[in-house]
């Protein structure tokens, strides 16, 4: 019988209900031990619904549970740092939903706490597990598309003024909400496919809604002679999922509709013409949960470590500073 890693999840919202909890239950090497919510009745209800052994309304009690090996954090962004540090101090490994934390300083505190207490930290950028994106990496490494010089990723949503969600509150989610929520996926996916970002030029604005900046446009300069563009918003009606991901090389181009949802298509264009790639969809959340349990079982480094999460959040911080100052900002200059 496969040894199973015990998981406890804090933050019972839509991402937990629709993705994390079902994935933990489907994972062959993971077991749902406990759920935690400030509402005791909600915790008990969800524990029954998803088959958790225990229900907690006190986070400090859950992280002391000896049956739990991993704390899964799906709370609003502003809580990620505090909850990670507390879990690490109790010897728990941490799987933290993206973004890692709203600020670079908080990300660094999370990494330091996990290193000090000899526990593992993984950030939930599930799009790195999407089979289409893994195929794109293989295609680019083959040399068939020459030298990559430009990429683009977009993710747009409609989030109305009336909708009740922490995603509209900059104190809870961080500055430039669509960048912190869905734009980070675009940035991280481009980093995964193209390499590290060295400089950023960004714009953000309040369009239609009045609760915060609701659109962000970011130009990224990457290592070498490559560039990329991210566009993301909370003010775009009638968007389709999944959305655009494009890669342009000196010998060919890659066109995908894979950002922001399951499924999607992947097409390439070279001197030989157009080609459609048939790729079977896989459960990205199941793959990331299983991967982290494997890392805990085998004492291995996760493929999306705290350091990787920090790199993506430094690009976000550079974009925020660029927008405020109207200048290009080097990623190494943000703290």
Distance separating alpha carbons of residues 200 and 229, to the nearest angstrom:
10
The pTM score is 0.96
Distance separating alpha carbons of residues 47 and 166, to the nearest angstrom:
23
Distance separating alpha carbons of residues 11 and 73, to the nearest angstrom:
7
- Residue 212 has a pLDDT of 82
Residues of CATH 3.30.360.10 domain(s) within the chain?
128-282+314-333
- Residue 8 has a pLDDT of 98
Contact 321, 314 (CB under 8 A): no
- CATH class of the domain defined by 5-126+285-304: alpha beta
Query: CA dihedral defined by 287, 293, 299, 303, rounded to 10 degrees?
Result: 30
Mean pLDDT for the chain overall: 95
Is residue 57 pLDDT above 90, yes or no?
yes
Q: For the segment 132-164, what is each residue's pLDDT rounded down to a tens digit?
A: 999 999 999 999 999 999 999 999 998 877 777
Distance separating alpha carbons of residues 215 and 120, to the nearest angstrom:
34
Q: What CATH number does domain 128-282+314-333 carry, 3.30.360.10, 3.90.230.10, 3.30.70.20, 3.40.50.1370?
A: 3.30.360.10
3-state helix, strand, coil in the chain (%, to 5): 40, 30, 35
Contact 123, 111 (CB under 8 A): no
Distance separating alpha carbons of residues 86 and 236, to the nearest angstrom:
38
Alpha helices, DSSP H, located in the chain: 14-15, 21-26, 40-50, 59-62, 80-89, 104-116, 131-141, 170-173, 177-178, 184-194, 284-298, 306-325
Share of the chain above pLDDT 90, in %: 86
41: DSSP letter: H
Residues of CATH 3.40.50.720 domain(s) within the chain?
5-126+285-304
Tell me the pairing of strands 148-156 and 273-277: unpaired
Cis peptide before 191 (omega within 30 of 0): no
Tell me the pairing of strands 215-222 and 273-277: unpaired
Q: For the segment 2-55, what is each residue's pLDDT rounded down to a tens digit?
A: 789 999 999 999 999 999 999 999 999 999 999 999 999 999 999 999 999 999
Distance separating alpha carbons of residues 150 and 36, to the nearest angstrom:
43
> Among 317, 332, 80, 73, which residue's Cα sits nearest to residue 176?
317
């Amino acid at each position: 019988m496969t040894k199973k890693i015990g998981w406890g999840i804090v933050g019972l919202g839509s991402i937990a209900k629709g993705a994390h909890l079902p994935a933990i239950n489907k994972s062959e090497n993971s077991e749902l031990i406990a759920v935690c919510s400030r509402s005791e009745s909600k915790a008990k209800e969800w524990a029954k619904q998803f088959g958790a052994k225990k229900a907690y309304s006190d986070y400090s009690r859950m992280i002391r549970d000896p049956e739990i090996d991993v704390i899964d954090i799906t709370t609003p962004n502003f809580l990620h740092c505090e909850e990670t540090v507390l879990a690490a101090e109790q010897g728990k490994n941490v799987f933290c939903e993206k973004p890692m934390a709203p600020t670079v300083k908080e990300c660094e505190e999370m990494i330091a706490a996990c290193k000090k207490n000899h526990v593992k930290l993984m950030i939930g950028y599930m799009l790195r597990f999407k089979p289409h994106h893994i195929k794109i990496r293989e295609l680019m490494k083959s040399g068939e598309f020459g030298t990559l010089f430009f990429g683009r990723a977009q993710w747009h949503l409609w989030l109305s003024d009336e909708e009740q969600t922490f995603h509209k509150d900059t104190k809870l989610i961080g500055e430039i909400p669509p960048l912190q929520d869905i734009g980070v996926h675009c940035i991280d996916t481009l980093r995964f496919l193209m390499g590290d970002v060295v400089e950023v030029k960004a714009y953000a604005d309040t369009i239609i809604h009045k609760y915060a900046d609701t659109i962000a446009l970011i130009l990224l300069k990457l290592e070498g002679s490559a560039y990329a563009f991210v566009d993301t918003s909370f003010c775009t009606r009638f968007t389709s999922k999944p959305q655009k991901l494009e890669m342009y090389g000196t010998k060919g181009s890659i066109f995908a509709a894979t950002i922001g949802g399951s499924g999607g298509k992947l097409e390439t264009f070279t001197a030989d013409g157009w080609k459609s790639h048939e790729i079977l969809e896989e459960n990205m959340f199941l793959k990331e949960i299983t991967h982290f349990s494997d890392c805990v079982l085998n004492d291995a480094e996760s493929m999306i470590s705290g350091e990787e999460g920090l790199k993506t959040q430094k690009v976000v911080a550079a974009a925020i500073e660029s927008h405020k100052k109207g200048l290009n900002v080097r990623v190494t200059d943000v703290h």
